[in-house]
Amino acid sequence: MTKQNWQNISQSTKAVWAGETEPFFEGCAQVPIVNSVSYSHDDMDHWFEVATGKRKGHIYSRNTNPTVQVFEEKMRVLEDAEAATSFSTGMAAISNTLFALLSPGQRVVSVKDTYGGTSFVFLEHLPRFGIEVSLCETNDIEAIKAEIKKGCDLLYLETPTNPTMKVLDLKKLIAAGKAQGAVVMVDNTFATPINQNPIEFGADLVVHSATKFIGGHSDAMGGIICGRADLVKQVYSFREINGAALDANSAYLLLRGLKTLKLRIDQQNSNAMALAEFLMNHKKVENVFYPGLESDPGHEVAKGQMKGFSGMLGFSLKGGFDDVRKLLPNLRFAHRAAHLGGVETIVGPPRTTSHVELNEAQRAELGIPESMVRCSVGIEDIEDIIEDFAQALDKI
Ligand SMILES: *Cc1c(COP(=O)(O)O)cnc(C)c1O
């Protein structure tokens, strides 16, 4: 795939065309799903050149695959990155990147509110290899900056966070990390490349769970990192032998989902905003966590770095978990599931889903009330969504 110039081309056009402007095999107008494990070569010299990276082509699908490559190119262009490489899941992308780039004696700085799986790698696995991890209070920027100054080889950021939608100041924190010589990595899953582009603020690597908004249809898993070519190459060579390759069938579904990314995210941004406002004014609702609300503590920073406030929101109920128990089964148009980013509205209590391994005190420490519901707002008609929440809240 040649690196064409995508400057001045909008995200919606990139979502449709990036990676797909070159002709495919036999004139296919759509990306073919290449299920071949290997690729045969009649010319021994060509084969050698492909194997040594001097010629375009493929050898073995654990390394590269034509369908997967189109997905990587589309994501690279959407994040405006030098390079991209994909993985079987978002967690494979995160853990492979951390293990590929870090060595014993090095130090990672991050925050307490990272995605649960990431937090587990930080607390349980990196220390086993002699890598120090310091997790700071997410909304204390001075504490994070102070920890970076103590020494930082890798700064890991995630914003907005799961599930309380805390917002990290990307410009300030990336600058602090760079000043210390750290590699800066940002989990952009909640925002998507439509709402936020961390590379614009100097991030070295952006990671996504493609399982969520990127695919958008809750039917395929995948992960991707986009960023500096030297780092992506190092991560790719680790992933290649670690084996966490994205499958061609999943890559096809993710590509198909990506074509409507801009449409979906625009609708989800505006639906989430309207639902957040409705919930905020409801007498049974205690608190709403959504950076789009002017009253939200993250609003000002979010306004400066996000193009939209995302389709994710949280809310808590005045009547405790008993209210959650009554509310969720009464929603007509929502999956009650441990997932997010699909075209359908998806709800779940962090107590049962993302933060089930913590106890009540640990959840309280992260600012997660027991009566909290995380809501991934879908693309349904907003009047139907609000009507549905209204009738379910009435039944409490
Ligand atoms: C889901 C998620 C992940 C992990 O992705 P998987 O595809 O489930 O492995 C990482 N980060 C965030 C923010 C997520 O929501």
| Residues 179, 36 share a domain | yes
Position 250 pLDDT exceeds 80? yes
| Residues 47, 9 share a domain | yes
Q: What is the rounded distance in angstroms from the CA atom of residue 192 to the CA atom of residue 319?
A: 33
Looking at the CA of residue 158, tell me the nearest atom of ligand 1: 13
DSSP letter for each residue of 102-141:
--TT-EEEEETTS-HHHHHIIIIIGGGGT-EEEEE-TT-H
Q: Tell how far the Cα of 323 is from the centroid of ligand 1, in angstroms.
A: 28
pTM higher than 0.85:
yes
| Residues 227, 138 share a domain | yes
Residue 127: Cβ within 10 Å count: 12
Q: Domain of 375: which CATH number?
A: 3.90.1150.10
| Residues 266, 251 share a domain | no
Q: Mean of the per-residue pLDDT values for the chain?
A: 96
Nearest Cα to 152, choosing from 123, 169, 175?
175
Instruction: Name which residue sits closest to atom 1 of ligand 1, judged by CA.
Output: 209
Given the residues 113, 169, 187, 323, the one annotated as active site: 187
Instruction: Name which residue sits closest to atom 2 of ligand 1, judged by CA.
Output: 209
Q: Tell how far the Cα of 162 is from the centroid of ligand 1, in angstroms.
A: 10
Q: What is the rounded distance in angstroms from the CA atom of residue 70 to the CA atom of residue 1?
A: 8
| Residues 318, 288 share a domain | yes
Q: Tell how far the Cα of 115 is from the centroid of ligand 1, in angstroms.
A: 7
For residue 157 and ligand 1, the question of a CB distance below 6 A is answered with no
| Residues 99, 201 share a domain | yes
Domain boundary among 258, 281, 315: 258
For residue 161, give the amino acid letter.
T
Nearest Cα to 55, choosing from 47, 65, 44, 63?
47
| pLDDT band (50, 70, 90) for residue 1 | very low
- Could you confirm whether 115 is annotated as catalytic? yes
| Residues 215, 265 share a domain | no
How many structural domains compose the chain? 2
Domain boundary among 204, 236, 258: 258
| Residues 164, 105 share a domain | yes
Q: What is the rounded distance in angstroms from the CA atom of residue 169 to the CA atom of residue 300?
A: 10
Q: Is 255 helix (H, G, I), strand (E, B) or coil?
A: helix
Nearest Cα to 188, choosing from 230, 157, 151, 146?
157
For residue 97, give the amino acid letter.
T
Secondary element (H or E) of residue 231:
helix 229-242
Position 290 pLDDT exceeds 90? yes
Our measurement of the distance from residue 39's CA atom to the centroid of its chain's CA atoms, rounded to an integer in Å, reads 32
- Could you confirm whether 171 is annotated as catalytic? no
Torsion region of 165: left, alpha or beta (phi above 0 gives left; psi -120 to 50 gives alpha): left
User: How many residues comprise the chain?
Assistant: 396
User: Which residue among 165, 186, 211, 219 has the greatest number of ligand 1 atoms within 8 angstroms of its CB, and so is best to mutate?
Assistant: 211
pLDDT of residue 3: 57
Q: What is the rounded distance in angstroms from the CA atom of residue 218 to the CA atom of residue 284?
A: 30
For residue 139 and ligand 1, the question of a CB distance below 6 A is answered with no
- Could you confirm whether 336 is annotated as catalytic? no
Looking at the CA of residue 211, tell me the nearest atom of ligand 1: 7
Could you tell me if 24 and 1 are in contact, meaning their C-beta atoms sit under 8 angstroms apart? Answer: no
Average pLDDT rounded to a whole number, residues 15-21: 96
Could you tell me if 90 and 207 are in contact, meaning their C-beta atoms sit under 8 angstroms apart? Answer: yes
- Could you confirm whether 212 is annotated as catalytic? yes
Domain boundary among 207, 238, 258: 258
Could you tell me if 207 and 199 are in contact, meaning their C-beta atoms sit under 8 angstroms apart? Answer: no
Average pLDDT rounded to a whole number, residues 271-285: 98
| Residues 270, 182 share a domain | no
Nearest Cα to 251, choosing from 32, 4, 79, 3?
32
| Residues 266, 155 share a domain | no
Average pLDDT rounded to a whole number, residues 84-98: 98
pLDDT digits (tens, 9 = 90+) for 350-362: 999 889 888 999 8
The region of weakest confidence among 57-71, 130-144, 360-374 is: 360-374
* Domain that residue 177 falls in: 3-258
| Residues 233, 161 share a domain | yes
Q: Tell how far the Cα of 386 is from the centroid of ligand 1, in angstroms.
A: 27
Instruction: Name which residue sits closest to atom 15 of ligand 1, judged by CA.
Output: 189
Q: Domain of 231: which CATH number?
A: 3.40.640.10
Position 2 pLDDT exceeds 80? no
| Residues 363, 231 share a domain | no
pLDDT of residue 357: 86
pLDDT digits (tens, 9 = 90+) for 98-149: 999 999 999 999 999 999 999 999 999 999 999 999 999 999 999 999 999 9
